[in-house]
Amino acid sequence: MCGIIGYTGPRKAAPILIEGLKRLEYRGYDSAGIGVGCDGALTICKKVGKIKDLREAVPDDLDGCYGIGHTRWATHGGVTDVNAHPHTDTTGNLAIAHNGIIENYLILKARLEAEGITFRTETDSEVIAHLIAQHYEGDLEAAVRKALPLLKGTYGIVCLHKGNPQLIIGARSGSPLVVGVGEDEMFLASDVTAVLAHTKQVVYLEDGEVVVLTEKDFHITDLNERKISKTIDEISWELEEIEKGDFKHYMVKEIYEQPEAIERACRGRLDPTQATARLGGLNLSPAQLLDVERIRIIAAGTSYYAGLVGSYLIEQLARIPCQAELASEVRYRNPIVERNTLHFAVSQSGETADTLYAMRELQRKGSCVLGICNVVGSTIARESNGGVYIHSGPEIAVASTKAFSSQVTAFYLFCLLMARKRHMSYETGEWFLQELTVIPEAVKAVLKTEPVIKKLAKKYAGYKDFLFLGRGINYPVALEGALKLKEIAYIHAEGYSAAEIKHGPIALINEETPSMFLVPDDRLREKVISNMKEVKARRGKLIAVVGEGDDEIREIADDVIEVPRVHTLFSPFVMVVPLQLFAYHCAVLLGRDVDQPRNLAKSVTVE
C-alpha cells in the first residue's frame, strides 16, 4: 500500500516522479502528490484521485532537478487534498513522504502543539515533518537521524529540504525502500517497478538503515552512523513485463500468463532422472529435510489459500502433518514452536506485514522459516532462512492470480521433494512429474473457455450474494473464488466446504443466491452431487465447474463450465482459472476498477 518515489539528477524531476507514481498505481491509493526543489524554492502539488488528476494539477513549467512523490492510501484522516503527501513543516522549507503508521503520533502531536506548532492535516505522517524541522540546523541527514528515534511504528520515509539542493534522505523501518542507481542520477522508491524505466541497478534497504542520495552517489548507514556496504542487485524483469500490452487490464493479462508462470516456477527444478524436484534455495541438507516432522504454513489472503492447497497435498503425498495458518493470528497468540517443525512464510510481494512479523516471531523462538516469494530482494526473501522464488514476473493487478498458481506450484515441487525422500516410489515420482508437466497446457485449454465464462458473467453479475463450494484440495479454491468476486466485483461471496452446507449456509439458499460448485471426478464426487441436489431442491441456482464431458452434472446444474480432466490432486490448477475469469468479467460488466479495487492495496505493509 502507498508508494514512494524520489529523484535527484540532471533531468527535470516532475515528469520522472509522476511516471514513477504511475508505475506504483497497482499498490492501491486514493490521492497523490509531488514535491520538487529548484533554486532555493520548494513546490508542492497534491491531489485526490488518480495520477492523471495530479498530472493536470502540476504546472507544465515546473522546474527542479530533485524531488519526491507519493501515492496515499488513507489510514489517518480522510481522503482530501490537504491530507495527501508530501507534508511540509510550518515554514514550507522541508517536505516528507511516508509509508507506514506512526503509532505514537498523538503523543508527539500533543507535544508539538504545546510548543506552538500548528498542524494542517489529520495524518500521523505530518508529525515527522515537524520533528525533522525542529532538529534542522543546515544538515538534513543529522536532523533526520535525531527525529527517527522518537518515532514508534513502521515507516519508509523520504525527505528533502530546499536548503540542501539535490539531496534526498530516506529511512526504513518495516516499510520497503529501494535505491535505484542510474548514470549520474539516483532514485529512491518503495518498489522497483517505479525505477525500472530508468535503471535495473538497485540496492535494498534493511530496517534501521538511512540512505543519503546525491545526484551522482549514495551512502547507507545504520542509526548509529556506522557505514554499511551494500551489493548492487540487477533487476531481472523487463519493462515490457509491467505493461498491459494488448490486454484491457493487468488482471486478465496475468490470468493469461499463468501457463508460463507455472512453467517458470518449475524451470530448472525438475529432476526426471531421480523422479524428484530440486530446490537448492531451501538451504537445508538432506538429513535436515528428513528430520522434519511437521510443517506449518503462514500467509494472508490469496497466499493463505495457496498454503491451504499445499497443506492438503503435503499431508496426502508426503505424509507429513501440515497446517496452514493466518499470519495475522500466529504472531499474537504466542505460537509454540515444536522441535523439527519447518515453517513456510508465503507472500507474493515478500513485504506483507502480518506475514513478516509472524516470521520474525517464529524465528525468535528458534524456528527455521522458509520464504515463498515472487519479488527478488524483498524483506521476507532476505530475512527467511531459505526458500523458493516463484519467478512469476511482476504482478501488477491488486487481485493476485498468477502468483496463486505459482505459489501452489512451489508447494507441489516441495511435496514431491519430501515425498521422494520418504516413501514415494520412483514410479510414483515419475507419474507426479508427468502430471505436473501437462498442467500448463491444461491451463491454456481452460483459458479458451473465456467466451463461455463471459456469457455466464452477463447472466449472474446482477446477483448480490454467491456461495462457492468445494471439497478436499478444492475447498481452498472455493475460498479463493469467493475472495476474487468480493475483491474486484464487490459482490458478497462466501466460500465453504461443500460438506458444511448443511451446517448453516443452506439457510441462505434461495432463487437470489447462486452457488458455484467445484466438481472434479474424485472420491468425494457423489457427496458433492448430493449437496448440489439439496441446493436444487431449495430452488437455488447452480453453476458447476466440471471435467470435460460430465453429462451427469449437466443434468443437475443450471450452468456448467468444463475444464480439462486432470488427476484430482492437480485439479486446483484448472479449477481456479474459471473462478478468476468469472470474477473479472463480472467486475468489468459492473464497471469496477478491476486493477485497483476500492479500499485495497497490492502490498499490505501495515498491520
Distance of CA 233 to the CA centre of its chain: 21
> Coil, strand, or helix at residue 330?
helix
Q: Sheet holding 386-389: strands in order across?
A: 322-326, 294-299, 341-347, 368-373, 386-389
Eight-class DSSP state of 231: P
- The runs of H, that is alpha helices, within 82-139 are 105-114, 126-135
Which residue in 47, 484, 541, 602 is the catalytic one? 602
Which of the following is catalytic: 2, 45, 65, 322? Answer: 2
Let me know: does 151 contact 104? Beta carbons within 8 Å.
Answer: yes
Where would I find the H helices in 423-474? Answer: 426-437, 439-447, 450-460
H helix runs in 448-570, sequence order: 450-460, 475-489, 525-537, 551-554
Of 304, 355, 349, 364, the residue nearest 327 (C-alpha): 355
Q: Interior CA angle at 207 toward 130 and 225, to 5°? A: 70
Residues comprising the chain, all counted: 607
Cβ-in-10-Å burial (0-12, 13-18, 19+) of 160 comes to buried
Contact 481, 584 (CB under 8 A): no
Q: Tell me the backbone φ, ψ of residue 459, rounded to 5 degrees.
A: -75, -35
CB 535 within 8 A of CB 563: no
Annotated active-site residue 2? The verdict is yes
Nine-digit cell string for 510: 434461495
Strands (E), 162-242: 168-173, 178-181, 186-189, 201-204, 209-213, 218-222, 227-228, 233-234
Nearest by Cα to 178 from 340, 376, 346, 323: 376
Is 602 a residue of the active site? yes
Reported as type and span, the H/E element at residue 407 is helix 402-421
Q: What is the CA radius of gyration of the chain?
A: 25
Any idea which residues carry the catalytic annotation?
A: 2, 602
